[in-house]
Amino acid sequence: MIGRLIALLTLLLAAPASAETVARIASPGGVLSAELQLDPEGRPSYSVQRLGREIIAPSRLGFLLLNAPKLERNFALDSQSTRSFDETWEQPWGERRFVRNHYNELRVRFTERTGLARSLDVVFRVFDDGIGFRYEFPEQPNLANVEIQDELTEFAVADPGTAWWIPAFEWNREEYLYNRTPISAVGTAQTPMTVRTDNGLHIAFHEAALIDYSGMNLASMGHGRFRAALTPGTDGAKVRRQAPFPTPWRTLQVADSAGGLAMSNLILNLNEPNRLGDVSWVRPMKYVGVWWEMHLDRATWASGDRHGATTANVRRHVDFAAANGFDGVLVEGWNVGWDGDWFGNGQEFSFTRPYPDFDLEGLAAYARRRGVQLIGHHETSGFAAHYEDQMEDAFSLYQRLGVHAVKTGYVADAGQAKVRGADGRILYAWHEGQAMNQHHMRVIEAAARHRISVNAHEPTKDTGLRRTYPNIIAREGARGMEYSAWGNPSNPPEHEANLVFTRMLAGPMDYTPGIFGMRTRSPQGVQTTWAKQLALYVIIYSPLQMAADLLENYEANPRPFQFIRDVPVDWSESLVLNGEIGDYVTIARKDRASENWYLGAVTDEEGRVLNASLGFLTPGRRYRAQIYRDGPNADYRANPGDIAIEERIVTSTDTLTLRLAPGGGQAIRLVALGR
Ligand code: NOJ
Ligand code: CA
């Protein structure tokens, strides 16, 4: 007994004096709270509680600088203030029309007690379903040029659990399949990274408003502790800025269920309101394109006998779009520069000169007459500087021709994008470093001046900037459908149920669904049923949705194609009815232009039965449910095309039983009838 007491006493004496809580803020409904601590050496940290329980243990804050001593210790609390905010704002387009932005904010100033006496502000916005915090570097004499060597922000997940993540700093940028591992086995992850703790809590880590800064990854320090791993810059500093400036928000979405994460508006809410004014020219749309045939290697981007972007082929696509109610036709390989090794030769691309067998002016006029627009394509092979040299001319040309949307592309291995340094030299850059984030902002602003929306592939990550710049209409930034055309492996059946609860938490994705031709260049082919391909239009949110397959596959299958013709791309509400990360999910969305609802459900490689209550429908109203479900023999391996299409009348009191085949899904259009 005495021995034990002595052991305890020695332990207590040896432990450093503990940190003191200096500030605290709770969310409006008291669900989440955050605390800021200072230890006796003046090191700041924060922690997060949910319903009084710690979910993020004390985690470090601070910076290593390149041109000055680190900003990490010897701080005292200088001042603190709080405020509450509650507004509902309207999205010009989106997964829902009205968004409530309701939080309590804590602003703290830490100032060094001696030496340079520099200050660093930390701002927390605490919502009931998540937290954002950021640093603000105030204007001050002893810290004007900020050269960040490393951000020291940590996230110490308090409980063990499972993580869904893709690796950071690998050559293939953001195009990886999701790992599912214990939290303790994560390496260096990109964000969003989603975890489910063993007691069932779901937390997604990401960032919001990534502007003129470098993208954040999360490096595991062991035992559930993660540290910000900023993307390197083009020289020793990861970020160079002049104070005053804020960092992006570091975000945690927190919910009891996976579906709760997908319902959160945190990332959008932490971005600034629309800066572009009237954006009625930004139009959500469905499109077809000269695209999948190149990925199947039935046609080429390059000129020659197999050139895809010929006048005749594009005309055929315009006619098909007009006949089937699609607004856009994407044309890839229309411009000079694709011949030879285009991956490595970004300098060869002209963004204004079409190949001779593509009549740009004539086709643009033809499309306009038929009520369709061409969607432009600018593959840069990552040579951002070369693109910037031509960007203004390219956007002027498109504006003159009535082209209002451009798909850009940055195919280059990670770290191999090319930007122009201050001295004019070409420097190699990471896709998510500060230089490329500056580049994307220049593209968005130039495009906006010409009333053009941008859909970037191989982009920088989505951090909700579409709120501020609504012409950021979509992006890729994950493994899209193209991998099922040529990848080995193609996207596995669990892929989309992973995406909904990871990548999609960041924002819309141009996934390019709608494939009926399941045999591809990939040895596995497309690993879904047809019904699941239809469900993807509801599950994967994007204001730009492609009907990606060859036109002949639609012409040969008009009945299932009808759902793709009908499904809208702009919604007044979205509800996640059920879901587990990587297993299954059911989402219902209400059309913004009518009283109709659409429902999509997908599963992984396991067949399952899900129940979907239609309680979201208007009570007392009847709806015609047009159901596209897996047929009795459907299976993504043996019989993907077995689809049953039927109708029945339903009301808000019905609960539907959804039978999903292995790798299957279900899509339902709910047409509002009279009462
Ligand atoms: C990769 C993009 O993801 C794909 O959609 C595009 O067709 C090729 N790059 C060529 O630009
Ligand atoms: Ca890609």
Residue located nearest, by CA, to atom 3 of ligand 1: 457
- Clarify whether 482 is annotated catalytic: yes
Mean pLDDT of 619-644: 98
φ and ψ of 533, to 5 deg: -55, -40
Radius of gyration of the CA atoms of the chain, in A: 26
Mean pLDDT of 520-539: 98
* Count of CB atoms situated within 10 Å of the CB of 298: 12
The pLDDT, as a whole number, for residue 13 is 46
- Residue 409 CA: which ligand 1 atom is closest? 11
For the chain, how far is it from start to end, CA to CA, in angstroms? Answer: 78
Mean pLDDT, the chain, whole residue set: 97
Q: Is 482 in the pocket of ligand 1 (CB under 6 A)?
A: yes
Residue located nearest, by CA, to atom 2 of ligand 1: 457
Q: Is the pLDDT of residue 14 over 60?
A: no
CA of 14 to the centre of ligand 2 (A): 54
- pLDDT tens per residue, range 19-55: 999 999 999 999 999 999 999 999 999 999 999 999 9
Q: Which long-range contacts (CB under 8 A, 24 or more apart) does 292-300 make?
A: 292/485, 292/512, 292/515, 292/548, 292/549, 292/550, 293/550, 294/332, 294/333, 295/482, 295/485, 295/486, 295/520, 295/521, 296/485, 296/486, 296/520, 296/521, 296/550, 297/486, 297/521, 298/550, 300/333, 300/338
Q: Is the pLDDT of residue 5 over 80?
A: no
3-state secondary structure of 302: coil
Question: What pTM was computed for the model?
Answer: 0.96
The pLDDT, as a whole number, for residue 279 is 98
Cβ-in-10-Å burial (0-12, 13-18, 19+) of 614 comes to buried
The pLDDT, as a whole number, for residue 674 is 81
Per-residue tokens: 82: 């709080």
The pLDDT, as a whole number, for residue 465 is 98
Antiparallel, parallel or unpaired: β 453-457 and 405-409: parallel
Give the closest ligand to the alpha carbon of residue 407: 1
- pLDDT tens per residue, range 278-317: 999 999 999 999 999 999 999 999 999 999 999 999 999 9
CA of 214 to the centre of ligand 2 (A): 21
Mutate to test the pocket of ligand 1, among 457, 484, 491, 511 (most ligand atoms within 8 A of CB): 457
- pLDDT tens per residue, range 359-382: 999 999 999 999 999 999 999 999
- Residue 291 CA: which ligand 1 atom is closest? 7
Do the beta carbons of residue 102 and residue 26 sit within 8 Å?
A: no
CA of 355 to the centre of ligand 1 (A): 18
The pLDDT, as a whole number, for residue 36 is 98
Residue located nearest, by CA, to atom 11 of ligand 1: 379
The pLDDT, as a whole number, for residue 12 is 45
Per-residue tokens: 35: 């605390």
CA of 175 to the centre of ligand 2 (A): 7
Give the closest ligand to the alpha carbon of residue 343: 1
* Count of CB atoms situated within 10 Å of the CB of 176: 15
The pLDDT, as a whole number, for residue 4 is 54
DSSP state at residue 236: S
CA of 478 to the centre of ligand 2 (A): 7
Q: Is 409 in the pocket of ligand 1 (CB under 6 A)?
A: yes
Mutate to test the pocket of ligand 1, among 294, 332, 377 (most ligand atoms within 8 A of CB): 332
φ and ψ of 298, to 5 deg: -95, -10
608: β partners:
660
Give the closest ligand to the alpha carbon of residue 477: 2
Give the closest ligand to the alpha carbon of residue 380: 1
- Residue 295 CA: which ligand 1 atom is closest? 7
Burial 416-430 (b: 16+ CB within 10 A, else e): bbbbbeeeeeebebb
Q: Is the pLDDT of residue 356 over 70?
A: yes
Q: Is the pLDDT of residue 1 over 60?
A: no
Residue located nearest, by CA, to atom 10 of ligand 1: 379
Q: Is 411 in the pocket of ligand 1 (CB under 6 A)?
A: yes
Burial 572-599 (b: 16+ CB within 10 A, else e): bebbbbbbebbbbbbbbbbbbeeebbbb
Q: Is 332 in the pocket of ligand 1 (CB under 6 A)?
A: yes
CA of 505 to the centre of ligand 1 (A): 23
The pLDDT, as a whole number, for residue 2 is 53
The answer to whether the Cα torsion of 211, 542, 360, 411 is positive or negative is positive
The pLDDT, as a whole number, for residue 17 is 63
Do the beta carbons of residue 209 and residue 135 sit within 8 Å?
A: no
Per-residue tokens: 167: 């690796």
Q: Is the pLDDT of residue 332 over 70?
A: yes
- pLDDT tens per residue, range 405-432: 999 999 999 999 999 999 999 999 999 9
- pLDDT tens per residue, range 486-509: 999 999 999 999 999 999 999 999
- pLDDT tens per residue, range 275-288: 999 999 999 999 99
Mean pLDDT of 562-584: 98
- Residue 294 CA: which ligand 1 atom is closest? 7
- Residue 476 CA: which ligand 1 atom is closest? 3
Q: Is 457 in the pocket of ligand 1 (CB under 6 A)?
A: yes
Mean pLDDT of 560-582: 98
CA of 344 to the centre of ligand 1 (A): 14
**Using CA atoms, how far apart are residues 282 and 211, in angstroms rounded to an integer?**
21
Task: Tell me the C-alpha to C-alpha distance, in Å, between residue 87 and each of 221, 269, 272, 507.
Answer: 38, 10, 13, 21
Mean pLDDT of 611-618: 98
Q: Is the pLDDT of residue 608 over 50?
A: yes
Q: Is the pLDDT of residue 16 over 70?
A: no
Per-residue tokens: 375: 């969607």
Antiparallel, parallel or unpaired: β 53-60 and 44-50: antiparallel
**Residue in 95, 207, 482, 494 annotated catalytic:** 482
